[in-house]
Amino acid sequence: MVEKKSHIENEFDDNNNNNEDVNEDIIRMNPSTESPIDLEIQDIEGIGPTTAKKLKDAGIISVMDLAVTSADELAVEINASKDSAAAFIMAAQKLLRDSNVLEKEFITADAALEKRRSMLRCSTGSKVLDELLLGGIETQAVTEFYGEFGSGKSQICHTLCAIARQPIEASGLDSNVIYIDTEGTFRPERLNQIARARNFDPMHVLKSVAVCKVYNSSHLELIIKDLGKYINDFKAKLVIIDSIISLHRAEFSGRGTLADRQQRLNSILHKLIRLSEIYNIAIVITNQVQSSPDTFFGDPTKAAGGNVLGHASTYRIYLRKSGENRIAKMIDSPYHPYSDVRFTVSEKGSDDIEDVKKNNKKTSKDEIFE
């Protein structure tokens, strides 16, 4: 039987056509569309077969898909008023709440703490960077790394890919990863090197990362729109977008188009936040910096994307180069202390300065005694 490939699978094919093994495995990995939650669109109060068909035609096939859509988008897609679109979304969210997939509107703080305990963490490969993040990047959150070119954003992303495949006891997520590459900087050979240097099975790691190369902002918006399905299909607990802003920044450059750009970014980011919570996954985005000429004291660079990005990420980490090393600073978080740490980039990806020094020392000693 010939399996029908989804849009993203075709995307992956285009990107990975040099690597038959990885490709085949991505398709074999999980071609099913079965949802971890056994709920059908028709189970939603107020949705009959006609609306269910309209939703399916618009690509909304699960209750989760509907719950993460925005009312504006849905109204256009199913040709309904914004009010009825909002009512469908709220009914989907209510069904998820009643089924204990989503939190109730009000929960007591101890129950909230319990839910936070179900959150998973993935190591960044550097102990000090993990400490800054109080244990690594979190599920149910969007973590943003921003910084100038060469500051280590993509290196952290590659390292996270290798570690996410590792068991939970080894600070991984025991899961696959979706990597959305908007800058063409994903390198399977670098992932291979990081996996080898960390004594992970490189093939196991390479086969667990589904890469999608994105060429323009509309393409990115399309991929994000269907991201819930891809997360489900590929059983990913980590989604990386490197970078979130480059395409929109390049395509919407004039002043007149700024409002449109911000509105589009806003809708992407809100969808990402909802996805991270509903699927209990970690989302990592990278962002560029821009100079802020009105700064008289301190660092005259700030994250690109303005308030829209600032408010959307749960955690923001600013990366700076410092000689051969990197400085990471927690800029915005509801509970992390605003401290900074120094880490480095080695063949193991993001790494600790001390460990690199130790390893270097060992190598030279070995050489002496050889």
Ligand X SMILES: Nc1ncnc2c1ncn2[C@@H]1O[C@H](COP(=O)(O)OP(=O)(O)OP(=O)(O)O)[C@@H](O)[C@H]1O
Element (H, E) at 7: helix 7-16
From the list Mg ion, ligand X, none, partner contacted by residue 297 (C-beta under 5 to 8 A by kind): none
Q: Which one of ligand X, Mg ion, none is in contact with 155 (Cβ closer than 5 to 8 A by kind)? A: ligand X
Torsion of CA 266, 269, 270, 272, to 10 degrees: 160
| Window contacting ligand X (CB under 6 A); options: 40-48, 152-160, 210-218, 333-341 | 152-160
Task: Choose the one of ligand X, Mg ion, none that binds residue 340, judging by a C-beta under 5 to 8 angstroms depending on kind.
Answer: none
Q: Which of 23, 62, 123, 154 binds ligand X (CB under 6 A)?
A: 154
Span of 149-157, 209-217, 251-259, 296-304 interacting with ligand X by CB under 6 A: 149-157
User: Does residue 155 interact with ligand X by CB under 6 A?
Assistant: yes
Measured in degrees and rounded to the nearest 5, phi and psi for residue 142 equal -110, 120
Give yes or no for a contact between 207 and 21, defined as CB atoms under 8 angstroms apart.
Answer: yes
Query: In terms of CB distance, is 136 or 147 closer to ligand X?
Result: 147
Number of CB atoms found within 10 A of residue 301's CB: 17
Q: Does 369 bind ligand X (CB under 6 A)?
A: no
Binding site partner of 152, from ligand X, Mg ion, none, Cβ cut-off 5-8 A by kind: ligand X
> Least distance in Å: CB of 182 to ligand X?
10
Q: Rule CB under 5 A: which residues touch Mg ion?
A: 153-154, 185
- Shortest Cβ 118–ligand X spacing (Å): 31
175 makes contact, choosing from Mg ion, ligand X, none, with CB < 5 to 8 Å by partner type, with: none
Closer to ligand X at the Cβ: 46 or 184?
184
> In the window 16-75, what residues touch ligand X (CB under 6 A)?
none
Question: What Rg value do the Cα atoms of the chain yield, rounded?
Answer: 21
SS (H, E, C) 84-147: HHHHHHHHHHHHHHHCCCCCCCCCCHHHHHHHHHCCCEECCCCHHHHHHCCCCEECCEEEEEEE
185 binds ligand X, rule: CB under 6 A: yes
125 touching ligand X, by CB under 6 A: no
- Residue found under tokens 């988008």: 73
Selected binder of ligand X within 126, 151, 208, 314 (CB under 6 A) = 151
For ligand X, which residue of 114, 347, 358, 360 counts as binding (CB under 6 A)? 347
Confirm or reject binding of residue 147 to ligand X (CB under 6 A).
yes
Residue 305 touches which of ligand X, Mg ion, none (Cβ within 5-8 Å per kind): none
> Is 153 one of the binding residues for ligand X (CB under 6 A)?
yes
Query: Which one of 18-26, 142-150, 232-240, 259-267 is the stretch in contact with ligand X (CB under 6 A)?
Result: 142-150
**Which CB, 27 or 304, lies closer to ligand X?**
304
Q: SS in 3 state form for 218-269?
A: HHHHHHHHCHHHHHHHHCEEEEEEECCCHHHHHHCCCHHHHHHHHHHHHHHH
CB closer to Mg ion out of 149 and 297: 149
Selected from 162, 240, 265, 345, the binder of ligand X by CB under 6 A is 345
User: Which single residue is written with the structure tokens 């009914």?
Assistant: 91
Q: Closest Cα to residue 341, out of 356, 323, 325, 327?
A: 327
Q: Which two tokens stand for residue 34?
A: 């079965």
For the four alpha carbons of 157, 162, 167 and 169, in that order, the dihedral sign comes to negative
- Residues in contact with ligand X, counted by CB under 6 A, come to a total of 13
Residue with the closest Cβ to Mg ion? Answer: 154
Contacts of 263 (CB under 8 A, 6+ apart): none
Q: Report the residue count for the chain.
A: 370
Binding range to ligand X, per CB under 6 A, among 80-88, 290-298, 331-339, 342-350 = 342-350
> Binding to ligand X by residue 184, rule CB under 6 A?
no
Distance CA 319, CA 153 (A): 8
Q: Which is nearer to Mg ion, 179 or 279 (CB)?
A: 179
Burial class (CB in 10 A: 0-12, 13-18, 19+), 310: middle
List of residues 6+ apart from 362 with CB closer than 8 A? none
Strands 289-291 and 301-303: antiparallel
Helical packing angle, 7-16 and 227-234, nearest 10°: 70
Site residues for ligand X per CB under 6 A: 147, 149-155, 183, 185, 345-347
